A and B are shown apart, each in its own frame.
Chain A
Amino acid sequence: MTKLDCALTIENVDKYYGTVRALSQINLHVKPGEFLTILGPSGSGKTTLLKCVAGFETINGGRLLLGEADITDKDPGARNIGMVFQNYALFPHMTVEQNVAFPLVMRRMGRAEIAKRVADALELTELGRFAKRYPRQLSGGQQQRVALSRAIVFEPSLLLLDEPFGALDRKLRETLQLEVRRLQRELNLTTLFITHDQEEALLMSDRIAVMFDGELHQVSGPEEIYQRPANARVANFIGESNLLKGKLSAARGSATTLRFVLESGISVALAARNDAACSVDGEKVLLLRPEHLSPCIDSGCVGNQKNVLPTTVEELVYLGNVSRYRLRMQDGTELVMRLSGSGPKLRVGDAVRVRFSEDDAVLVAAERHTLPPRVLAEVA
């Protein structure tokens, strides 16, 4: 199959349902061949955005561009976009073959050509021997693969996936995630993926666009999203987080560190960085990931070492490879700490001081900041 890799540009898109604003100034540029995930909770607008890109919903402002072409006014069928639906949407009265052939039949291709392309597509997803079966005779995972074949057989310029793995069990989901990614790379197909599952997003994506309430909050690679979330809400959504309120002190700790004073009065040192969060005004919050905390035990923390917090152990949950501790500071603040199985064992009621390195401490904005569109879109 030839490779068609177009860029998708979503420019200043607004959408209203009556007076309710569903999408607000969405700017997104998906690079050719890139796998970009739109991640957000239900109601965030991610499905609405997908439907606008696909052409099933109209937009009230802005433009949609696929490659060089403006597709804003085009019919869904004319946009040359392949879409995989949440519940597969396979035609139950057609065989697997007929389902996959459908878009080619719509494009009035010759029968021999159709047969060849369908066979190729089915081979790609390893469904060759199910060609003559009906959807209801296939398992969930197989049906999903048929939906995928059908969406790519006509060589679309863009692939859209609407939470395609929601209905599958964990093992199957992991298998299909890797398969979809492999296929996408092989075809170098520009892909837009929608999910509310942050693990899935981190696993599969080249970049992630985090969305809440119809607005984009951050667009970055997985590592950046996890380690340097743009604001507290993003931090909370991705992985577990300890968010501590406080204020940046005017006085710096040193040339390379900033000082952040917690509400309880404890002073904390952070590595100075050119974060987008630091450069804007507004309230800041300190982010500590649970795995970045470690207890001071035995040779642990020296007297007045920085970045040490006194806590008491409230709860311990054993998860096999890690243990998850809930700790409480004197002023009532709760912290979550994760230790690997081979680490020290603490008991409920123990008083333990936990420390973290200044490199691991991250400053995030308390609220989403309105950055110029270009900045949000191009942060990578």
Chain B
Amino acid sequence: MIPRSRSSNRSSIWFLVAPAALFMLVFFLYPMAGLLIQGFSEGGKAFLTLFGTDLYLRVLWATFETAAIVTVAALLLAYPVSYLLATTTRGWRLVGFMVVLLPFWTSILVRTYAWMVLLGRNGIINRVLLDAGIISSPITMLNSPFAVQLGMVHVMLPFMILPIYNAMLRVDRDLAMAARSLGAGAFSIFSRIYLPLTMQGIIAGCTLVFVLSLGFFITPALLGGGRVTMFAMVIEQQIRETLNWPLASAMSILLLVLTLAVFWLLNRLNVHSRRWSA
């Protein structure tokens, strides 16, 4: 609260910082350290179990697959929408953002539940299709990978739209005009100018969505109906069913490491664009 003064009062800074530092130490760093300890207990036996069990590895792979699918789908849906938001008039932008932010702030449970209502055999979509005579018997959409991916894309979409939108805002509006005056057609303008300049936003969005999808629990549990298993659900199982601390810890550590690896990897892709950006 004190403007920077030449004699920075050591003790006053301490008052400002100490609560946060202590709190995080006790309630974050200590538990996370506990995770490491548990996971590597008995010489890392849990990790051997983890990597040795075919089931777990398959689930892990499926989780990656799902995360990738969701990321790509979200990107394809989000990019044009972000462009529209970035280039439209203020009034429409407001409307657009309400539509994007309202789901964002609505509870994930509510949204997931809504999808169950929409996709169920007695759900709305089936109802409408049956009544319209397009189908003769209800389609099973729920409790499938499709439902999980759909629900996840719905949840992730705002996370993809916002970073891309921000990147697009920073693109100089004159650049497209300059490119046109120099003879570029629409496709060239997009591929050579717009896409590279929004790449940072794309990577930020994809990172966020992919990483969130890796650790996702709620939507797969509800929309998958037990038929779809994601890695987070397996971790939860270890605790709930068997209280197997070492294994749960090992899995958590693996998930964390993978998350950090994805961050790091996608961050490297951005390094090239840092050379020229302001």
By a beta-carbon cutoff of 8 Å, the part of chain A in contact with chain B is 54-56, 75-78, 81-83, 85-87, 89, 91-94, 102-103, 106-107, 134-136, 150, 154
Contacts and interface: CB of A to CB of B under 8 A. Distances in A.
A98 B276 CA distance: 13
B71 to A, nearest CB: 23
B19 to A, nearest CB: 41
Given A87-B172, A87-B174, A91-B175, A136 B182 contact: no
Given A56-B177, A93-B196, A102-B192, 4 more contacts: A77-B183, A83-B181, A85-B174, A102-B182
Given A77-B181, A102-B179, A91 B193 contact: yes
A82 B183 contact: no
Contacts of A107: 183
Interface in B146-187: 172, 174-175, 177-185
Contacts of A136: 276-278
Contacts of B278: 92, 136
Main DSSP-derived SS at the B contact region: helix
A75 B184 CA distance: 10
Contacts of B174: 85-87, 89
Contact of B172 (A76, A82, A89): A89
Nearest to A77: B183
A362 B175 CA distance: 46
B196 A103 contact: no
Interface string B192-206: 110011000000000
30 contacts: A54-B181, A56-B180, A56-B181, A75-B180, A76-B177, A76-B181, A77-B180, A81-B181, A83-B181, A85-B178, A89-B172, A89-B174, A91-B178, A92-B172, A92-B276, A93-B196, A93-B276, A94-B276, A102-B179, A102-B184, A102-B192, A103-B182, A106-B183, A106-B184, A106-B188, A107-B183, A134-B276, A135-B276, A136-B277, A154-B183
B267 interface: no
A167 B184 CA distance: 27
B275 interface: yes
**Most A C-beta atoms less than 10 A away, residue of B182, B183, B197:** B182
B87 interface: no
A43 B193 CA distance: 31
A153 to B, nearest CB: 9
A125 to B, nearest CB: 17
Contact of A85 (B177, B185, B276): B177
A76 B180 contact: yes
Contacts of B177: 56, 76, 85, 89
A85 B192 CA distance: 19
B88 interface: no
Q: 8 smallest A-B Cβ distances: which pairs?
A: A89-B178, A106-B183, A103-B182, A89-B174, A77-B183, A134-B276, A83-B181, A76-B180
A107 B182 CA distance: 9
B182 A77 contact: yes
A85 B177 CA distance: 9
B273 interface: yes
Nearest to B195: A93
Given A135-B276, A136-B276, A89 B180 contact: no
Interface in B14-72: none
Contacts of B197: 92-93
A214 to B, nearest CB: 22
A75 B276 CA distance: 30
A314 to B, nearest CB: 47
Nearest to A98: B192
Contacts of B184: 77, 102, 106
Contacts of A85: 174, 177-178
A103 B179 CA distance: 8
Contacts of A91: 175, 178-179, 193
Nearest to B273: A93
Nearest to B278: A136
A106 B277 contact: no
Interface in B257-278: 273, 275-278
B182 A154 contact: yes
A330 B134 CA distance: 94
B188 A89 contact: no
Contacts of B273: 93
A91 B174 CA distance: 10
Contacts of B178: 83, 85, 89, 91
B146 to A, nearest CB: 38
Interface string B72-114: 0000000000000000000000000000000000000000000
A106 B182 contact: yes
A92 B277 contact: yes
A204 to B, nearest CB: 22
Nearest to A85: B174
Contacts of A154: 182-183
Contacts of A55: 181
Contacts of B275: 134
B271 to A, nearest CB: 13
Contacts of A106: 182-185, 188
A54 B180 CA distance: 10
Nearest to A54: B181
**Most A C-beta atoms less than 10 A away, residue of B179, B181, B193:** B181
Nearest to A136: B278
A199 B181 CA distance: 29
A30 to B, nearest CB: 18
Contacts of B180: 56, 75-77
A91 B177 CA distance: 11
A162 B196 CA distance: 26
A8 B185 CA distance: 25
